[in-house]
Amino acid sequence: MGLYFTFAVFVIVILVAVSGLVAKIRKLQLKSAYIERRCAELENLLSAQNKTDQFKLESILQSLDDGILVVNTNGQVSWFNKSVPEITNLSSIETGKTLIQLFLRHEIDDLFKNVISNRAPAELEIEFGINQKKYCRVRAFPIFGNIQSGQVTAVVIVLSDLTEIKRLEKIRQEFVANVSHELRTPISLIKGAIETVLYSDMSDEATQKRFLRMIEKHVLRLETLVNDILSLSQLESGKEILNIQKVNLFDLANKGIEELSPNANRRNIRISNRIPQSLFVNADPDKIHQVFVNLIDNAIKYGIENGKIDVYVDESSGDYVDVHVKDDGPGIPFEAQHRIFERFFRLDKARSRDCGGTGLGLSIVKHIIQAHGGKVNVVSEPGKGADFSFTLKRYISA
């Protein structure tokens, strides 16, 4: 019963996490729909004759986050708003130039010609930039001189930045793929162990217990994954409420060290707490305890046997203190250091799973510290260990 309950909870957690990403995407899409409605209003205003309407038109166009261009029937840009250079990464945009001269992209010019010939809206998606790519939806709307003639007198082109939507969609896809991968191994092992216990002639009690312990181990791994996903989902949503208070940093570090001492003792690793006993910070004690546990546990898993871990602070940063957890393990390659706080990123995937890691611990650390207004960092050289650090605001009495 407990196993099926764990699975049910896990499915719910996945749905909650994915729905959070979908909600962000939907919010951006609703914004895009709003832009489209505003563009429909512009069609009526383009023929405005008096200065009041012209000023109103100018204000609407300039206030939009989307890029707006007005193009005459010769394909020359007669007007554009300030968002166009920002979206396209083009610094030199001038009126009077043709679309092909401005963008050097035949796709946009073809879209314009299609609208002119068919007298109907059209759209496409396109990439801008080389080093810093931006994804855009380009929509073109015909503007008619009068309803009777049906003659197109201009075309309004709307550039909508899809970069954030694409990024969120990629995160959602990677999240589902990573979680599926994390689930596959424990579920397969649990399934195999259950089938062996149920359908084999297993009279040996010791063997039965061995298989049941295997099931328990992987159910606990699933439970840890569920808890980590819940924590990360709350932190990323920005809905996590911190209980900020005056906290003794030495005591908080000691609590984490004592909790993990059995793990350290198994590998004969010494942990020293060199934080001053009188140092206080403004923090949520439960959340910072989780940070210490995640970082120290990580150092135990990846440090060398018979090694040491140092927990210390650097108080030279004024109102903030830099808290360090340093190990003497194999270190982290330089090219991997910028990814070390990403979700599900692992240097040694096999070892991480063997140690019961979910690949979410350091990402949780990053989001907790960012919620406190601090920063995380890692300094490491291969063969010389890793020094993880985070900043917290020092407690200053009124």
383 and 260 in a common domain = yes
252 and 146 in a common domain = no
Whether the pLDDT of residue 295 is over 90: the answer is yes
Neighbours of 233 (CB within 10 A): 20
- Cα(117)–Cα(66) distance, integer angstroms: 25
Whether the pLDDT of residue 6 is over 50: the answer is no
Model pTM greater than 0.85? no
Neighbours of 383 (CB within 10 A): 9
Mean pLDDT, residues 126-136: 78
User: What's residue 100's pLDDT?
Assistant: 86
In a domain, residue 136? The reply is yes
% residues pLDDT > 70 (the chain) = 82
* pLDDT tens by residue, 53-97: 667 777 777 878 888 888 998 989 888 888 888 888 777 777 888
Phi, psi of 69 (to 5 degrees): -125, 140
251 and 357 in a common domain = yes
Mean pLDDT, residues 7-34: 50
Structurally, the chain folds into a number of domains equal to 2
Closest CA to 389 of 192, 210, 379, 354: 379
Mean pLDDT, residues 28-49: 55
Whether the pLDDT of residue 148 is over 70: the answer is no
* pLDDT tens by residue, 251-260: 999 999 999 9
User: What's residue 30's pLDDT?
Assistant: 55
155 and 8 in a common domain = yes
In a domain, residue 29? The reply is yes
In a domain, residue 94? The reply is yes
Residue 15: which pLDDT band, with cuts at 50, 70 and 90? very low
Kindly state the tokens that stand for 171: 């995160």
Highest-scoring range by mean pLDDT, 134-143, 216-225, 337-346: 134-143
Residues 6+ apart with CB under 8 A from 205: none
- Cα(258)–Cα(272) distance, integer angstroms: 11
Kindly state the tokens that stand for 28: 């951006």
372 and 267 in a common domain = yes
User: What's residue 13's pLDDT?
Assistant: 41
In a domain, residue 141? The reply is yes
The edge-to-edge listing of strands for the beta sheet with 152-161 is 77-80, 67-72, 152-161, 134-144, 122-128
Which of these three, 166, 187, 211, is where a domain ends? 166
Closest CA to 354 of 208, 139, 186: 186
In a domain, residue 356? The reply is yes
Angstrom CA distances, 165 to 77, 161, 321, stand at 28, 8, 36
In a domain, residue 6? The reply is yes
CATH number at residue 150: 3.30.450.20
Three-class SS state of 354: helix
Whether the pLDDT of residue 346 is over 80: the answer is no
| DSSP 8-state secondary structure symbol assigned to residue 360 | -
Whether the pLDDT of residue 3 is over 50: the answer is no
Which of these three, 113, 143, 166, is where a domain ends? 166
Mean pLDDT rounded to a whole number for the chain: 80
Whether the pLDDT of residue 12 is over 90: the answer is no
Mean pLDDT, residues 351-358: 57
In a domain, residue 198? The reply is no
Residue 377 structural domain: 241-397
Mean pLDDT, residues 369-382: 92
Highest-scoring range by mean pLDDT, 24-28, 173-177, 289-293: 289-293
User: What's residue 387's pLDDT?
Assistant: 95
Mean pLDDT, residues 183-206: 79
- Cα(1)–Cα(12) distance, integer angstroms: 17
CATH number at residue 390: 3.30.565.10
Kindly state the tokens that stand for 41: 């209003």
62-85: buried (b, 16+ CB within 10 Å) or exposed (e) per residue?
Answer: eebebbbbbbeeebebebbbebbe
264 and 149 in a common domain = no
Q: What is the distance in angstroms between the CA of the first residue and the CA of the last residue of the chain?
A: 54
User: What's residue 47's pLDDT?
Assistant: 52
157 and 12 in a common domain = yes
Residue 281: which pLDDT band, with cuts at 50, 70 and 90? very high
Residue 207: which pLDDT band, with cuts at 50, 70 and 90? confident
User: What's residue 28's pLDDT?
Assistant: 55
Which of these three, 143, 166, 189, is where a domain ends? 166
Mean pLDDT, residues 297-322: 90
Per the CB < 8 A criterion, the answer to whether 56 and 69 are in contact is no
For 253-299, give the DSSP string: HHHHHHHHHHHHHHTT-EEEE-S-TT-EEEE-HHHHHHHHHHHHHHH
Residue 184: which pLDDT band, with cuts at 50, 70 and 90? confident
User: What's residue 317's pLDDT?
Assistant: 74
279 and 132 in a common domain = no
Phi, psi of 369 (to 5 degrees): -70, -40
Amino acid at 361: G
User: What's residue 45's pLDDT?
Assistant: 53
Whether the pLDDT of residue 46 is over 60: the answer is no
25 and 138 in a common domain = yes
In a domain, residue 120? The reply is yes
User: What's residue 35's pLDDT?
Assistant: 55
Per the CB < 8 A criterion, the answer to whether 363 and 249 are in contact is no
Mean pLDDT, residues 306-317: 90
Angstrom CA distances, 226 to 5, 182, 217, stand at 12, 11, 14
Per the CB < 8 A criterion, the answer to whether 327 and 303 are in contact is yes
User: What's residue 96's pLDDT?
Assistant: 85
